[in-house]
Structure 1
């Protein structure tokens, strides 16, 4: 009897099974404790089958990171297409980043690991090319909002900065706020009582007001817009958040 020949869809489904099992292991014991033997033990496939999909642990980590980027890209693209002013859409995009972090804490925690040169040195060329393509699309989605703001004369990028640097300034603020305050991940001492979505909102508005990105905070009803936009753009994610007992409160 000949072995079953799997088509592309079957192979992708099997690969996703292995990725999902790895994410579950990361959630339980942390990325630093993952081994290929533990992954093999967690799936219904043989060691040889797992290695047919991944060169080793590093290649698997990069596959997990690419999976995470795909999730973020979907959220970011939906936020970017929202019918609103450029600044409101950028705020929504950053809220979508928080949604991603809350719903996928293991991915949020582990994605930086995949950026290690050690991981890249042992990952497949195909996986690295996929990473570069996904990150280009992700950054392009963010930059498109900034370009729209410039075209609409809602933002003048300072002469000493680029659109990429504007994007980085707001992303780093959001990443810091989520890393330090999201109780679903790990809240640092000294910040008890602060609510992550409120501080993400505050930090980004400080940056956007400093850039004179119109309308300014005092002139825009951004809190009400965000509440409405989340319900419109992310209904399924909102339902998942509520099932976790999580409601966003912008103060």
Structure 2
């Protein structure tokens, strides 16, 4: 029994190492620059060994995406339980997304590449299902917060808008803002957009949109800086200490 457990641990450690190297390769060279041959060369494992873990390149990328979304999901789940009005809970979700980007930049940047890759046909069925389920779970939490706001009278959704469509728009702006900043780098001076600047732009973009829907309390009228501090102190105290360098 102990031999089996040790072997399983070795397999997990090897897979974790392969994913670490693959993520670095993905970030440096993009989806087209990632291959099983290059991964084998970089890790000194045979392609046969790598194929024991991942059936295709798309399956490898899906495994990277699973790692990423598990980290993000854990932060989102904590944020959704913040004790505040619905708009403040939505803001807490945004803080969770920022923390994910700041604490795990390698996951965050790789995820942006992953979301542009087509994983529909050649990734493992179970990994694709897990990705879909986790994405839907996070989206569901956002939709529930919007529904709570409508129920409380803080938000009036006018046809054709629904809680579902507003949740989709929120995700689209959050993801699209970051992707846009990355892809727009060659068009503007100043080089790569720092993570803190990207997070700030996403925060402003999403909250200006929500203000446009009249979701109270408005971002322009409420002290969300104080809300941010409360979120950090009550939901993410350990992460806050890391960001502030008080490890």
Distance 2:139 2:75 in 1: 13
Deviation for aligned residue 1:51: 1.0
Equivalents in 1 of 2:14, 2:142: separation in Å?
Answer: 32
**Who is 2:232 aligned against?**
230
Structure 1, unpaired ranges of 5+: 244-251
1:92 maps to what in 2? 92
Q: Give, in angstroms, the shift of residue 235 of structure 1.
A: 3.1
Structure-2 separation of matches of 1:175 and 1:188: 19
The aligned counterpart of 2:27 is 27
CA contact (8 A) 1:87 1:213 kept: yes
Partner SS for 2:4: coil
Partner of 1:201: 203
Q: Give the secondary-structure state (helix, strand or coil) at the position aligned to 1:111.
A: helix
Residues 86 and 146 in structure 2, CA contact (< 8 A), matched pair in contact too: yes
C-alpha change, 1:56 and 1:201, in structure 2 (3 Å) is closer
Q: Which residue of 1 aligns with 2:83?
A: 83
CA contact (8 A) 1:205 1:217 kept: yes
Of 216-225 and 53-62, more deviation after overlay is shown by 216-225
Cross-structure match for 2:148: 148
Distance in 2, Cα, partners of 1:29 & 1:179: 16
Distance in 2 separating the partners of 1:81 and 1:40: 43
Give the secondary structure class of the aligned counterpart of 1:217.
coil
- Give the conservation status (yes or no) of the 8 Å contact 2:27–2:110: no
Q: Distance in 2 between matches of 1:65 and 1:151?
A: 34
Structure 2 residues not aligned, in runs of 5+: none
Q: In structure 1, how many angstroms separate the alpha carbons of the residues matched to 2:172 and 2:33?
A: 27
Structure 1 distance, partners of 2:175, 2:34, is 24
Q: How many residues align?
A: 238
TM-score w.r.t. the length of structure 2 is 0.80
SS in 1 for 2:120: helix
Q: In the TM superposition, what is the alpha-carbon distance from 1:64 to its structure 2 partner? A: 0.6
CA RMSD in angstroms comes to 3.1
Question: For residues 177-228 of structure 1, what are the alpha-carbon distances to aligned partners after superposition, in whole Å with 9 as ceiling and x for unaligned?
Answer: 434558xx96962689994444333322221222121112344211221133
Aligned to 1:216: 218
Q: Secondary structure at the match of 2:174?
A: helix
